[in-house]
Structure 1
Amino acid sequence: MTDTQQQTESFFVPLNKLDRDPKNVRKTYSKEGVAEMAATIRADGYRLLQNIIVRKGEKRGRFFVTAGERRRAALLLLADAGEISKDYPVECKERSEAEATEISIIENMQREAMHPVDEYEAYRVMAESGKSVEDIAARFGTTETMVRKRMALGRVSPVLLDLYRQEEMTFQQLSAFTVSDDHERQVEVWNSLPSWNCDHRAIRSALQGEAVKATDKRMKFIGGLDAYETAGGAIKRDLFDEQNGGYALDVALVEKLVADRLEAEAETVRAEGWKWVEVVPIIPNEAHYMHRVYPSDVPLTEEEQAEEERLEEENDDLVAQIEAGEADDEAEPRIEAIQARLAVLSTSQEAYTPEDIAKAGCYVTMDHYGNVEIERGLVRPDDEVEEEAEDGDESAGGDADETDEGGATVTPQPEERPEPTFKMPAPLVQELTAHKTAAIRAELAHNPDVALAAVVHAMLVNLFGSYGGTDYTSLEVTAKSERIETIIADPAACLGIVAMDELKENYGHTIPGKPSDLLEWCLEQPTSTLLDLLAYAAAKSINAVQHPHYERKSQRAHAERLAQALKIDMTQWYAPTGENYFGRISKAGIKQAVTEAVGEDLALGILGMEKAKAVEFAERKIAGTGWLPAPVRIALTAEQERERMVEASGDDDGVCPFDIDDKPVTDSATFPEAAE
């Protein structure tokens, strides 16, 4: 047989004469994969759709399997089960030993999984011919769950399936459309969602028609229910709602109106000439690590200066009239108008330079209160590299040949080389700056006023995102702050977040806008101001969050002790409601909560109620009792626990009947948190 015939003609080899090829680059096969392959072979009448590639073995009559080891293992599995004989004839093709490794690599690497839509169509053809899900799974060697998932794609519009084939959407996005059978609505939702907010969650939410409350931040952002209704949106109103609120039923329309407003805001910002302006759902994390450009002071014109002086004089006169009781009814409104105009004149004294605008950009988004948020002056790393390269090109240009008046080329004479300059060795620079560092440390340790200013400065440059991080401080003191706004379902309703945002806004109006000015400002402040800022920075860095896969027990214990020292009353900061708690736990958890809050008698019928009724009942009964879920409670100190136990025992001599150590007592009560 010639080599060509050897490579093209097939022949049969008994199964028990085939061995694993040591030159096969793939050494591991999962049991599940072998079982799936056996299922496909069984379903096709124990035939192989693709021949096994072999080479001669070391013993006469035996062959190594160069390509097709999983098929050989599947046949051996069938033979062990008694479904085929040990010497079952296997159709093979032979290749030389020299080609073995190369063929094995090609076999294992140059393979592409079947496209999900192609799988769906293949399954659909079999289903239409009368095959059950179990039969299809057995035929293709896959699970019934996978077949059902692929068959679910039949609910998706062909228009969207084509978009997925063209790689214009992800499989996660495509899968989200299976919650609806309305192809027209699916296409409408896809076209209405903005490119920056069309992930699977947004798609599923729009298709499921989850009503949007009138108090939702998106409704505030677009102008309320009236603006939504004017755009043609349907509304469901609550006749018993004294606020005359309601729900927007068309989620896709709400999202479209939000996107339109953000795009309009972005167009206004683009008109300022920035290199890039991007609309985003939230400010991305990378923005906090970008360098920034800042506005420069621009002096007022002579006309503006004259206006400012005139308004300040008028404002002082009106204030004096009010204090003397001589002002009329127009005085206070006039003062407000003057203050507004003075604020405009004040803000107009800062502006970005054209050079900075040409290299920087802006993010436009909606904050968690439903207001427009614009981050200006961000410089992407690529733009910084590009600018440095341009500067290098300009400085690298040499003297070009010039021409005289007659057109002849004149080569410039080289200038005299300057004398070599001294460059200090890098290790020596490192050592000398270490001496300087040691001296600064020693002096700072004896000057608590400057140390306080430096620590406050170092913490602020980390917490105020516009400052760009640790580039502006030599202290290796950092203050990190986890974005808990992304964890809380409704951050605008969280009293703690609102309070911290108000503080940040107040301090934002006080501290300078440029990070280069911040240290000087801190050094000029009285101790009381620095201590207030230090408290704010320390508070912002607190993290008592328990994550699903990282409990952070030691850190949370530390936060618990701080809460005890602060004597926090959590009922002033959080109250369980149907929306933020009871609607998100099981009825067993609701029963346990009601039992603890108002007694077991009132909780007896909860398990027999509908979930919505149980939620409403719990919210009504627990309101005002001071009951809190265990994760929100502040643990009692040892002293508080002693007092509680003495009071409970009725022992008048003040001696606690139990031996309690001095450690804080942690409330270990837990509640079933799994929602039904």
Structure 2
Amino acid sequence: MAKAIQKIILSASRDIPFSKLVLSQSNVRRLKAGVSIEDLAGDIARRGLLQSLNVRPVLDAEGAETGMFEIPAGGRRYRALERLVKQKRLARTAPIPCIVRDPTVEISAEEDSLAENIQRVALHPLDQFRAFKVLRDQGAGEEEIAARFFVAPAVVKQRLRLASVSEKLLGIYAEDGMTLDQLMAFTVTTDHARQEQVWEALQQSYDKEPYLIRRQLTESAVRASDRRARFVGLDAYKAAGGAVLRDLFEEDNGGWLQDMALLDRLATEKLAAEAEKIAGEGWKWIEVAVDFRYGHAHHLRRLDGVEVELTPEEQATFDALTAEQAKFEGEYEGADELPDEIDARLGEIEEALAALESRPVHYEPAEIARAGVFVSIDANGRLAADRGYVRPEDEPVPAGSEDPAADEIGGVGEAAPAAFAQRTVITIGGDQPEDDGDDEAIKPLPERLVSELTAHRTLALRDAVANNPQVAFTALLHKLCLDTFRHSVPGACLEASVRHVFFPAQSADLKDSSSAKAVADRHEAWKAELPKEEDGLWDWLAALDDSRRVALLAHCVSFGVNALYEKGDGYGGPGVSAHGVQQRIAQADRLARAVGLDMVEAGWRPTVDNYLGRVTKPRILEAVREAKGDQAAQLIDHLKKTEMAKEAERLLDGTGWLPEPLRLADSADMPDTPADPAEELPAFLAGGEGGVTADESEPLPIAAE
């Protein structure tokens, strides 16, 4: 005969007045966690008690019920109800729904309390995201949802953004095929097709890190910190219909502007409008560009204007700001960190002082009529109007010229009417990367790239020579000896000269390099000291002490430094021969050794734009292999060209690696023994037993909090 199945009897549910309930010392929860008691009380007041209390009768010494009930499971709910009673929002005799346990059962109160807490299963984060979306679809605003569930509005925005990712990717996340950090990265864009495309591409790579997902989703966009974006302004860009990608989970510094064509058009239009205003000053020409190449004005003469002095009101403001700045600096001289309000105020003072110190320059009307202005955007996203440049063809003609038209322009008489010739130029620098196909051979570097690299080296070498008068003196004497003893040619009083060398091929970042800035600053400092009239130059030079005279000599000599690579003329033409280029580079190496030039210290770093994106895949792998070893190269050799170049830029950062044109011919720039890649590479690339797996890492935060 089959044994009868014993039926389960559940504990009875009943309403017990609040005044009959007390906390039990058998409750295993001791530490505060989750929603605060205050917030829980507010939630109960709004929607009522969603879960009954688990209680047991309190027995007296003889085992009889006393009419009171203790709560081993539900203590936080009791505390919240108690707070409502104290606030007079709930009566002390209000009935509270409870599950009453039989005191004679074998299961202890501690076990009940533990079971209720550890058997509770939290919502999957995706369920939270979708639930928030349902509430919004039902008409609740983000602020209202945040208030209901006691989270910050930013958290609601994050969860709603996560719920808006492609349903295909959400399904992958639900099946644990994607981490929460990866899902967060996909929220940068709302383009579901692009999200899915990037995820599919990542399946062919070992590298699925969130930063790479963000980079691929934003590679065709412009950062809000870009000079064009700061110049145009996000409000103007959005008003024109431009879209901005935002990252709600990491600091994005304003996000990414998606429509580059629109941004360029708005920047050019705003520059042109500013140029129209400047044209009212009477300049003959104005050139407008988002950015100008390094040395764009070297062939032009700069007018010597007169700086407008501060007005009494401006001088008073300047003095007051300077005193306030000195006061703050004195008060917080020994402080490790400034208070936020003081730091902000000092920033305002510095900005105001800089504006007062940047004085406008006054030019004579006759000079304005033959000169022009370069209008562009500076590195900080502000308007840059560089006034007072005269083209060679606009120089004044000496008296008695036979060209009547030249007399009209260059004479001492009335200035010609100013003419505004606007030419909007948008410069896009750099060559397109070569298609390396499947060829694994290491091909020679493109000649254009070598020219750009050696332009960087030439500029750095100029700066180094100018800072080493002894070497500059030797270089000049070397040149004079060659002219005197080998190639002496009859000429004027003294034929020794320095021919300023320009850079026909240059990368976009050349003019922003530290070498370019150092050369320009030093040049302007000397120029400000030189006499305005040529007749007084000799006396001024004769009065200089030896140290300053040698320093000026070094500066002047440095402008003749030419370490540029160029294609040699093999047909006996006027250009330099291939042998001449070789001699130039060899002498540049000697000069670089003499001044101790280090292109790494000069600020050059391999990037996608200046090298890695311009060479073949074997060249990229060669660079990584030289700097980091074979293992690092093997970890990226499966990637496509674009991804390989980006990953190589990250791997080479800080290694001090240089391409051949930037190395000395007889020097070893690379370390003898490459660093162990496993020690420096991130876990997702290093792999192996030492790498940190997903199971070993810290648990992911729920709902991106």
Asked if Structure 1 and Structure 2 have the same fold, meaning a TM-score greater than 0.5 normalized by the shorter chain, the answer is no
TM norm structure 2? 0.40
TM norm structure 1? 0.41
Relative contact order, CA 8 A, sep 6+: which one is greater? 2
